[in-house]
Amino acid sequence: MAHEGLFQELKVVVGEEYVVHAPEDLVVFEYDGSVDKALPLAVVLPATTEQVSGVVKIARSHGVPIVPRGAGTGLSGGAIAAKGGIVVALTRMTRILEIDPVNRLAVVEPGVVNLELSMATAKYGLFFAPDPSSQKACTIGGNVAENSGGPHCLAYGVTTNHVLGMEVVLADGSVAWVGGRTRETPGYDLRGILIGSEGTLAITTKAVVRLVKLPEAVKTLLAIYPRLNDASAAVSDIIASGIVPAAIEMMDDLAIQAAEAAVHAGYPADAGAVLLVEVDGLKESVEVESALVEEVCRRHNPMEIRTAEDAAQRERLWAGRKGALGALGRLAPNYYLIDGTIPRTKLVEVMARIKEISAEAGLPIANVLHAGDGNLHPCILFDERKPGDTERTLEIGGRILKLCVDVGGVLTGEHGIGVEKQEYMPFMFTEDDMASMARLKLAFATDDAFNPGKVFPKGASCVDISQMKAVARAGAGAFV
């Protein structure tokens, strides 16, 4: 076997059963939550930082690329082995090493599942605020790599606002700490650079995360609208009123129908859109703010506004939103989820245009939005078995992202660039912008061994861009 020597060396480090290389076993690591697929050469499941370091050193000595992987729920192809190589799955590193309720922080391994961290800290009245809708499955390591958001990130901020420091394995196998246990550390913010770097610069092996006090009171409203435009206008109006709810989520008619059939959250099947608005904080302020939110929602012709009376009702309302993506399988065999962000004032215009694009292309699009952030998730419904469907879907996806950028938005709200959007980078970045990013990548001396073939457009690889432009200007001495 061509790579038997490599596999043997890896087995010595992590143990025989934690090196997977039989083709039938590799198939489950061929994809993540996106539409792209690629088979790795092997999957290695280390249990400690030392093992991760050992695996990196061996892979590098064999000239084989390394792809870090958490739960594989990513939606931009980040965890697939686009250029082959070894997938380093961190899912055995699941220990919560420390919960410090006094300093409100926790130290965790990268494979800890997002929701399990908040469940473990609840007894101290604390939680980890970033809450991707995939939080029952996705890992903290993946959240850090994607700088993930979630419904409650409107008020609380995204992952980078909640990670104080990380232990990382660099491309030469050495172990380093970036950031620490405090909000501010002197020097360059390497922590900030690594968060959101999509596994292209380092592998996170521990994270020190902030914990936030569970709110004293929570109020959740469901505003049901006959028309999408009214719901979109209500979102802009809530934000303009100066209130910052913990969450403002929106779903359109198709998403409602799918979610309702699957989880029976009580959303009316004939609604054009629903808004789920949550206000949290001190009891008194929650009463005042939720009344204001309701007043604003009423200005936009709702069919009905409901308020959850207790935790069970609140759970039920959220179940509809959190189950929406999984439920789309009821409408079509495949969906392609787009992740773009727009200024909230453009919601009415952009949502209307997305509906037009759907009609023009003859492919239904269900919309689920972190609307308060202007973060859109149009889901194009298609059938990959039908000739031409996949190509049309990808083409529409590109048009929607271009639309987001054209109205002053950005290419991704939270899912990263990965392989999915790498060719769209020029929509918003000039060659000089990308050259600056490429120079930064060179400073980590990865030799493109970590997650190659991601983020930068193909044919304008990191090395090409930087060599052509920035390196020549700055001089090699700028790099470590």
Ligand X SMILES: Cc1cc2nc3c(=O)[nH]c(=O)nc-3n(C[C@H](O)[C@H](O)[C@H](O)COP(=O)(O)OP(=O)(O)OC[C@H]3O[C@@H](n4cnc5c(N)ncnc54)[C@H](O)[C@@H]3O)c2cc1C
* Chosen residue from 40, 46, 85, 141 binding ligand X by CB under 6 A: 141
Part of the chain binding ligand X (CB under 6 A), chosen from 126-134, 230-238, 267-275, 294-302: 126-134
Q: Is 134 in the site for ligand X (CB under 6 A)?
A: yes
One residue of 40, 150, 179, 245 binding ligand X per CB under 6 A: 150
Using an 8 Å Cβ cutoff, are 455 and 417 in contact? Answer: yes
Query: Does 121 interact with ligand X (rule: CB under 6 A)?
Result: no
In whole angstroms, how close is the CB of 335 to ligand X at the nearest point? 10
> What's the token pair of residue 470?
């920035």
- Do 198 and 144 form a contact (C-beta atoms < 8 A)? no
Burial degree of 9 (CB within 10 A; 0-12, 13-18, 19+) = middle
Q: Which of 46, 54, 65, 70 binds ligand X (CB under 6 A)?
A: 70
CA distances (Å), origin 350, targets 232, 324, 341, 347, 426:
10, 21, 10, 5, 21
Closest to ligand X by CB, 215 vs 452, is 452
Residue 373 contacts by C-beta under 8 Å, 6 or more apart in sequence?
149, 153, 154, 341, 344, 413
Site string for ligand X, 305-344 (x = CB under 6 A): --------------------x-------------------
CB-based burial, 150-167: b 16+ in 10 Å, e otherwise: bbbbbbbebbbebbbbbb
Q: Does 451 bind ligand X (CB under 6 A)?
A: yes
CB of 368 to ligand X, least distance (A): 9
CA dihedral 94, 100, 104, 107 (to 10 degrees): -30
Contact pick of 143, 236, 257, 412 for ligand X (by CB under 6 A): 143
Instruction: Return the residue of 65, 78, 179, 320 that touches ligand X, per CB under 6 A.
Output: 78
**CB of 421 vs ligand X, minimal distance in Å:** 13
Q: Which residue number, 69 or 346, has a Cβ lying nearer to ligand X?
A: 69
In the chain, helix, strand, coil percent, each to 5?
40, 20, 40
Phi-psi region of 307 (alpha: psi -120 to 50; beta: other; left: phi over 0): beta
Minimum distance, C-beta of residue 208 to ligand X, in the bound complex (Å): 14
Q: Which of residues 21-60 bind ligand X (CB under 6 A)?
A: 32-33
For the chain, the C-alpha Rg in angstroms (whole number) is: 23
Could you list the residues that contact ligand X (CB under 6 A)?
A: 32-33, 67-75, 78-79, 90, 110, 132-134, 138-139, 141-143, 145-146, 148-150, 198-199, 203-204, 325, 414-415, 451
